[in-house]
Amino acid sequence: MRFPYGPAALSMLILSILSGAWLALNPIPPKKATLVMWTFAKTHYDAYKQAIPSFEAKHPGVKVDLQLVSWQAVTSRLQAAFLSDLDVPDLVEVEISAAGSFFRGPLKDVGFRDLTDRIKQSGLYDRMVQARFAPYTSRGRIFGLPHDVHPVMIAYRRDIFDQLGIDVNKIQTWDDFIAVGRKVTIPGKRYMLELPDSESSRFEPLLYQRGGGLFDPQGNCTMDNEIAVQTMLFYVPLVAGPNRIASDLGGGQIFTRAVEDGYFLCMIAPDWRSKTIEVDVPKMRGKMALMPLPAVYPGGRRTSTWGGTMIGITKHCKYPDLAWELALHLYLNKDDLAQRFRDTNILPALKEAWDHPAYDEPRPYWSNQPIGRLYAKLAPDVPFQYTSPFVATAKGKLSEALVACVQYYKQNGDKGFEEFVRKRLKQSADEVRRLMRRNPY
Amino acid sequence: MATRPTDISLSPARAVPTSRWFVLQYKMAPYLFVSPFLILFAIFGAYPIVKSLILAFYVTNGPKSAVFVGLQNFIFLLSDDDFHKAVWNTAVFAFWSVFLQLPLSLGLALLLNSRWVRGRELLRLAFFSPNLLGQVFVGVLFSVLFIPQYGLVNRFLHFIAGVPLDTKWLANPNLVMPALVLTSLWMYVGFNMIYFLAALQAVDKDLYEAATVDGANAWHQFWAVTLPGIKPVAVFVLVMSTIGSFQLFELPWIMLNNSAGPDQAGLTIVMYLYQTGFVTGDLGYASTVGWTLALGVLIISLFQMRVTGAWKGGD
Amino acid sequence: MKTFYRVVRILVNLFLLAFAALTLTPMVWLLAATLKSPDDLFSYTFFAPRISTFNFRDLFSTVPFHRYMINSVFVASTMVIVQLFFSSLAGFALAKYDFKGKKPIMILMLSTMMLPSQVLMAPLYELIYRLGLVDSYAGLIVPGAVSVFGIFLFRQSILQVPDELLHAARIDGCSEFRIYWDIVMPVSRPMIGAFCLISFMGTWNSFLWPQIILHKTERFTLPIALNQLVGLYQQQYGTLMAGTFLSVLPVIILFMLLQKEFIAGLTAGAVKG
C-alpha cells in the first residue's frame, strides 16, 4: 500500500519512530553519584579526575560525578538550576566575576551554603591568602573557598628582547616599560604589549594594582574614584593614539599565530595564563620568560590579580560535610596541589603549600625560570578585590567607559581628555548605582 | 446555526445520510478540529499572556519569589540605558535589514525573472541555500569567518579593498553591527528573493504587453505594472522581515560568544529580555521588556501597513 | 541593438553567477575547514592538499555528538508530525466550514502571529516548571504542538479543494474526519511536503527555548550542544566546524529532496493571500 501523505510526512514518521526507539533503548543513565560537581575549566577537570579516586577510596561507597560545563553556560545553567530546583549540583566551581551574581536576593535565598563558620573554625582563613576570600563574600558571609591567588606577571618573547638588547632588569616602572615599548613598536607589525581596547579584562588588573576596584568592602560602586580615573588616563594612551604600544587580536589560534609572528612581545600573564600560553603557543618553548609587572611608581607593587575561581557547596547538597571534605581534599592536599601546579601552573591559595620543591623547578618553556617561586614571591602582594551582585553589570559598564574613552582619545587626543574620563567614569558608576537602588532585596 | 441544514445538502439530487449521528458529527466537526489549537492556546498562550501582564508589575528572583513594585518597572525602563541601547541596536539592525536587504532581494528577483537568465532554478537554489542554516549555526560559522588576521572575510576584503587584515569585526564596537548586518544579509537576501520572484511570476503578462503597446519603457513598466503587481507580497515581506529583525537574538548571541559584545554593541531587545529574565532571574522586568517589545512591533507593523496602504490609495 | 542585448545578457548572467558564488563561498569554506588538520586550517584558504578526518574523530571523541544528533532528529521529526496533524486539522475546519466563532478564531490567530513569542517566555517557563516539564522533550513539544502559521498555510491550500469532492464523500456516508483523513490530506500532499520542511527547520534550528528548558547535557539538541562546544573547545576551530557541518547537513539533504514543494508552499500564503 502506498503512503497517501507524501514522502515528506512518511520520512518524518520513520525518523521520529527510529530516533524515538533509539532514545528509548539508550536512556540517559541515572546518576548514582553521591556528590555531583561542576567545573568550567578543562585544566581543573583533568586535575580533579586524578584527585577524585583517592577521595573515593577514603570514603567507601561514595561516588563523585565530575562534570565539565562550558564557561559561558555555567552561570546561566547554574542560575536556571537554582531557580527551578532541578539538577542542582552539590559542589560548583564558579568564576570570580560570575560569583557575585549568585548573591542577589535575601541571604536565605542565596543558592550557596554559608561557609564562614567552617572557614573560620578550621583556621583556613589565616592559612589561605586572605585577599582571595573577598570576591566570594557578601554581607560579611563567605560563600566559597578560593582556589587560587592568580598573581600577575608579564610574559615576554625573551629571544626578541635579547635580539633587541632589552634588559628586563631595567624595567622597574611602567614609565620604563613604555619608554622601551615606544622604541620597539612598529604599528601594524609589532606591538610591545597585548592589551584590548574594547573590553576591560586587562584594565581591571591594572586598576587593582593601584589599589582601586569596582566595589569597596561595603559593596558601594567605586569605579569612578580618583584611582580609576588615573588608571584610565594611563591605559588609554597605551592602546590608542599616536604613541600606542599595545594591540590585541583575540584568543585561540589567532593568539597562537600572533605570538609566533612576534606581533606582541609582552602579555599580561597571571599564573593560569602562563599555562594557556604554553599550550597555545608550543613552538615558543625556550623563547619565553616572565618578569614582574612594572610598578606604578618606584618601589610600588609589582603585581596584581586577574581571574579566579571559588568552590561552593549548594544548599541543595544532601551531604554538606562530605562535600566540604571533598573541597578540602581538592584544595588543601599539598602533594596534589604540587602536582596540579606542575600541570596547570596555578599557585594555590594555601600559603603553606608553596614550600614544596615543585615550585622551585626550572621550566624549560620559560627559559628555565622557576616560575612557581616567581609567582609565589609576588603572591603576598596580591591586592584585594570586592564583589557585589552587580559585578557583571559593573564590568560591562566599565568596558563601555573604556570604549568611550578610547574613542574620545582617538579623535581629540589629550585635549580635554582628563575631564572626559572623569565624566564618563562617573556616568558608568551612576548607572550601576541606579541599578543597585532598584534592587528590592 | 440556522443555515446549517441547507449547507449539508448542497446538491439536492442525492441526499446525504440524515441519521442523527451523521448530522451530529457534521455539526461538531469544525469545533473538534479547532479544539486542539484552542485548548493549547488557552493553556500556553492565553494564560502566559495574562500572567506576563501581571508579572510586569513585579520584581522577581526566579519563579519562587516576587515583590510587587507597581509601575516601577515601567518607570525604570524609561531611564534604563541598557534597554535604550538594546532598542537602538535593534532598530538600527531592522533599518538596515529593510533598506539594504529588501531592495537587494527585489533586484535579484528582477534579474532572475528576466528572460535572459540561464539556469534559473539552480541560481535560485544557490541564493536561497544560506537560509537553511539556522542562526546558531551561522553564528558559529561567521564568528570564525570574521576573526582578524586569518579569517576569510578579512582576507577577502583585504584582497579586493585593502581593508586591514587585523580588523576586529567582533571586538570593535563600531564594527559589530556591520558584521551582524552583513551576516543577516547573507542569510536572508535569498529568502526574501523567493517571495519577490514568486510574486513577479504571478504578475499578469498581458499587462506588460498592454504597457509595451502604450510605448512604456522598462522603467515605466516597472513603476506602472511590476510594482503594483507585487505590492501585496512586498508589504508582507516588509512586515515579516521587520518583525523578524525585532526578534533578533541568536545570531549576535552566538557570534559574540554568549555576550552582548564589546560595549554592548550587539545587545538586542530579546537578548536583554533573556539576560534579565533568565540569567539575572528577574522574570518581572523581563515581562515589562517583552510587552514593550510587543507594543513596539505592533505599532511599527500597523504603521507600515498604513503607509503602504496610503501609497496605494494615492496611486 | 542585438549586440547590446547580447552584452546585457552576458553581464546579467555573469553578475548572477558571481553573486551565487559569493553566497556559496562560506559553505564551501565550512566544508573545506572540516577536512583540514588544525595545522592546515589557516595555512590554506580553502582546501588543503591533505585531507584529514581529525576534526570528525575529535568531535565524536570529546562529546557524544551522535546522541545530540539523534536528540535533534527526534525532537524535530516528532514536532513535525504533531504540528502537521493539529495544524492541518484546524486549517481544514477554517477552510471548509462555516461555524460560530470562526471569525474570532481567525482574528485571534492573526494577532498571535504578531505577538513576539519571547514576550511569553517568562510565564511560560514558570508554567512548564509547575507542570514538571522542565528538562523534558514534552516541555519543548507540547507548548508548540500547534503552529498558527501552519494553520494558515493549510487553510490556504485546502480552500482550493473543490466542495463537490467533499460533498460526494458525504453522500457516500463518510464522516467528517474520514473526509479529512482520506480525501483532504492526500490531496494536500504538496503543502504537507512544504510544511514538513518549514516546521522541521524551525524546530531543528531553535535555540532559546530549548536552552531554557533542557538541563541535562545528554538531552541537548544540536544548537545548544554546539554552543556549549564553542565554550569548551574554543581553540579547536576545525572541530567546531565539523560540528556545524554535521548540524546543517540533515536540513540541506531534506531540502534537496523537497525543494520544489517547499518553495511553492512558502510563497503560497503570501502570493495568494
pLDDT digits (tens, 9 = 90+) for A179-199: 999 999 999 889 999 999 888
Contact C23 B126 (CB under 8 A): yes
d(CA B108, CA B111): 5
Mean pLDDT of chain A: 91
What is residue A52's predicted lDDT score, i.e. its pLDDT? 93
Q: Are residues A130 and A158 in the same domain?
A: no
Instruction: Find cell 622597574 and name the residue.
Output: A172
Considering the domain architecture, whether residues A311 and A407 belong to the same structural domain is answered as no
Angle between helices A71-84 and C222-232 (to 10 degrees): 130
Over residues A302-322, the mean pLDDT reads 94
Same domain, A163 and A298: yes
Of all residues in chain A, what percent carry a pLDDT higher than 90? 71
Closest alpha carbon to A83 in C215, B282, B64, C127? B64
* B34–chain C nearest CA distance, Å: 4
Report residue A30's pLDDT band, with 50, 70 and 90 as the boundaries.
confident
Q: Assess whether pLDDT exceeds 90 at residue A420.
A: yes
> Which residues on chain B are in Cβ contact (under 8 Å) with A104?
61, 280-281
Strand partners, A91: A37, A313
> Rounded to whole angstroms, how far apart are CA atoms A128 and C70?
48
- Residue B193 makes CB contacts below 8 A (sequence gap 6+) with B105, B106, B108, B109, B112, B124, B127, B128
Contacts of C14 (CB under 8 A, 6+ apart): none
Last residue of a domain, one of A362, A379, A396: A379
Q: Which fold has domain C63-272?
A: MetI-like fold (1.10.3720)
| More confident position, B89 or C63 | B89
If phi > 0 it is left, if psi is from -120 to 50 it is alpha, else beta; for residue C173 that is left
State whether C74 and A8 contact (CB < 8 Å): no
Task: Examine the domain organization and report whether A370 and A228 are in the same domain.
Answer: no
Query: Which band of pLDDT confidence, cut at 50, 70 and 90, is reported for residue C268?
Result: low
pLDDT tens-place string over residues A235-248: 999 999 999 999 98
Question: How open is the CA angle A167-A173-A177, to the nearest 5 degrees?
Answer: 55
Quick check: C214 pLDDT over 60? Answer: yes
Q: Which amino acid is at B37?
A: F
State whether A224 and A345 are in the same domain.
no
Farthest CA pair distance, chain C: 74
Give pLDDT tens digits for A75-132. Answer: 877 887 887 777 789 999 998 888 888 887 788 888 899 999 999 999 999 999 999 9
DSSP A293: P
CB contact under 8 A, A16 and C77: yes
Does one domain contain both A253 and A329?
Answer: no
> pLDDT by residue for chain B (315 residues), tens digit each?
333 444 444 445 567 788 888 888 888 999 999 999 999 999 998 998 998 899 899 888 766 678 888 898 999 999 888 999 999 999 999 999 889 999 999 999 999 988 878 888 889 889 999 999 989 999 999 999 998 878 899 889 888 888 888 788 998 888 999 999 999 999 999 999 988 988 888 887 777 777 777 777 778 888 888 888 888 888 888 988 998 999 999 999 999 988 888 888 999 999 999 888 877 778 889 999 999 999 998 899 888 888 876 444 333
Where is mean pLDDT largest: A61-70, B88-97, B300-309, C192-201?
B88-97
Q: Higher-confidence residue: A16 or C125?
A: A16
- The residue among C11, C16, C40 with the most chain B CBs within 10 A of its CB, best to mutate, is C16
For residues A416 and B163, the model is more confident at A416
Domain boundary among A352, A379, A406: A379
Residue C205 has pLDDT above 90, yes or no: yes
Q: How far apart are CA B165 and CA A80, in angstroms?
A: 40
Mean pLDDT of C194-198: 89
Beta pairing, strands A152-157 & A288-292? antiparallel
In which band, very low, low, confident or very high, does the pLDDT at C273 lie, cut at 50, 70 and 90? very low
Phi, psi of A104 (to 5 degrees): -75, 160
* Minimal CA separation from B16 to chain A, in Å: 26
Query: Quick one: which of A117, C122, C66, A271 has its CA closest to B53?
Result: C122
Cβ–Cβ gap B137/C19 under 8 Å: no
Please give the pLDDT value at position B279. Answer: 78
Beta carbons of C186 and A42 less than 8 Å apart: no
Q: What is the DSSP track for chain C?
A: -HHHHHHHHHHHHHHHHHHHHHHHHHHHHHHHHHTS-TTTTTTSSS--SS---HHHHHHHHHS-HHHHHHHHHHHHHHHHHHHHHHHHHHHHHHHH---TTHHHHHHHHHHHHHS-GGGGHHHHHHHHHHTT-TTSHHHHHGGGSS-HHHHHHHHHHHTTS-HHHHHHHHHTT--HHHIIIIIIHHHTHHHHHHHHHHHHHHHHT--HHHHHH--SGGG--HHHHHHHHHHH-TT-HHHHHHHHHHHHHHHHHHHHHHHHHHHHHHHHHHHH-
pLDDT score for A417: 96
Looking at residue A150, its pLDDT comes to 95
Domain that holds residue A346: 35-149+306-379
**A141, pLDDT greater than 90:** yes
More confident residue, B168 or C223: C223
Whether B151 contacts C237, CB under 8 Å = no
What pLDDT does A194 receive? 95
B-proximal residues of A, 168-227, CB under 8 Å: 188, 196, 198-199
Q: With cut-offs at 50, 70 and 90, classify the pLDDT of residue C199.
A: very high
What average pLDDT does the segment A283-304 reach? Answer: 96
Q: How confident is the model at residue C259 (pLDDT cuts 50, 70, 90)?
A: confident
pLDDT at A41: 83
Q: How far C74 CA sits from the closest chain A CA (Å)?
A: 5
C269 pLDDT band (50/70/90 cuts)? low
Q: Which residues of B touch A (CB under 8 A)?
A: 59, 61-65, 67, 69, 72, 76, 79, 81, 147-150, 164, 166, 168, 171-173, 257-260, 262-264, 278-281
A242 inside domain:
yes
User: Among the ranges A296-305, B67-76, B226-235, C32-41, which has the highest mean pLDDT value?
Assistant: A296-305
Nearest-Cα residue of chain B relative to residue A439? B59
Beta pairing class for A152-157 and A145-146: unpaired
CA distance A412 to C204: 50
- Both A283 and A424 in one domain: the answer is yes
Q: What is the pLDDT of residue A118?
A: 94
Q: How many CB atoms lie within 10 A of CB A26?
A: 13
Could you tell me if residue A404 is inside a domain?
yes
Residue type for position C256: M
To 5 degrees, how large is the angle CA A303–CA A304–CA A309?
A: 130
CA dist., res. A251 & res. A245, Å (int): 19
pLDDT tops 70 at residue C270: no
Residue to test with chain A: of C88, C187, C191, C196, most A Cβ within 10 A? C196
Domains of chain C: which residue ranges?
Answer: 1-52, 63-272
Span of A318-327, A422-431, A432-441, B138-147 with lowest mean pLDDT: A432-441
Looking at the complex, report in whole angstroms how far the Cα of residue C116 sits from the nearest Cα belonging to chain A. 22
Rounded to the nearest 10°, the torsion over CA A67, A73, A76, A81 is -20
Residue A271, C-beta contacts closer than 8 angstroms, at least 6 positions apart: A148, A149, A150, A151, A345, A346, A347, A371, A375
Asked whether the beta carbons of A146 and A136 are under 8 A apart, the reply is: yes
Q: How confident is the model at residue C234 (pLDDT cuts 50, 70, 90)?
A: low
Residue C117 pLDDT greater than 90, yes or no = no
Q: Is B160 exposed, middle or buried (0-12, 13-18, 19+ CB in 10 A)?
A: exposed
Where residue A114 sits, what CATH number does that domain have?
3.40.190.10
User: Do the chains contact at B148 and A250, CB–CB below 8 Å?
Assistant: yes
Please state the domain count of chain A.
2
Nearest to A199 among B61, B147, B262 (CB): B262
Q: Is A311 exposed, middle or buried (0-12, 13-18, 19+ CB in 10 A)?
A: buried
Contacts of A8 (CB under 8 A, 6+ apart): C192, C193, C196, C197, C257, C258, C261
Query: What is the model's pLDDT at position B1?
Result: 37
Of A73, A248, A254, the CB nearest to B150: A254
Q: Does C217 touch chain A (CB under 8 A)?
A: yes
Instruction: State the burial class of residue A178 (Cβ atoms within 10 Å of its Cβ: 0-12, 13-18, 19+).
Output: buried
- C232 touches A at CB < 8 Å: yes
Identify whether residues A168 and A42 lie together within a single domain.
no
Q: Same structural domain for residues A113 and A49?
A: yes
**For residue A316, what are the CA distances in angstroms to A35, A71, C213?**
11, 22, 20
A75 contact B CB<8A: yes
Domains and CATH numbers, chain B: 75-313 (1.10.3720.10)
Residue C271: band (very low, low, confident or very high) from pLDDT cuts 50, 70, 90: low
Over 70: is that where the pLDDT of A360 sits? yes
Q: Are strands A64-68 and A35-39 parallel, antiparallel or unpaired?
A: parallel
For residue A66, the cross-strand partners are A37
Which of B259, B273, B280, B288 to probe the A interface (max A CBs under 10 A)? B280
CA-nearest residue to A84 within chain C is C129
Chains in contact with B, where contact requires at least 3 CB pairs less than 8 Å apart: A, C
Cα→Cα distances C172→C63, C133, C163, C188, Å: 58, 45, 14, 21
Judging contacts by C-beta atoms under 8 Å, the chain A residues touching residue B281 are 79, 83, 104-105
Question: C33–B194: do the CB atoms touch at under 8 Å?
Answer: no
As a whole number of angstroms, the distance between CA C75 and CA A204 comes to 44
Q: Are residues A169 and A232 in the same domain?
A: yes
Regarding whether A266 and A174 lie in a shared domain, the answer is yes
Q: What is the mean pLDDT of residues C225-238?
A: 80
Could you tell me the end-to-end alpha-carbon distance of chain B, in angstroms, rounded to an integer?
A: 42
Confidence of residue A440 (pLDDT cuts 50, 70, 90): low
Chain A residues with CB under 8 Å of B263 CB are 198, 399-400, 403-404
Q: Which residue of B has its CA nearest to A197?
A: B172
DSSP B199: H
- Residues A283 and A337 occupy one common structural domain: no
Q: Which residue has the cell 529588501?
A: B102
What chains are in contact with C, requiring at least 3 Cβ pairs below 8 Å? A, B
Percent of chain A with pLDDT over 70: 99
Check residue C116 and give its pLDDT: 79
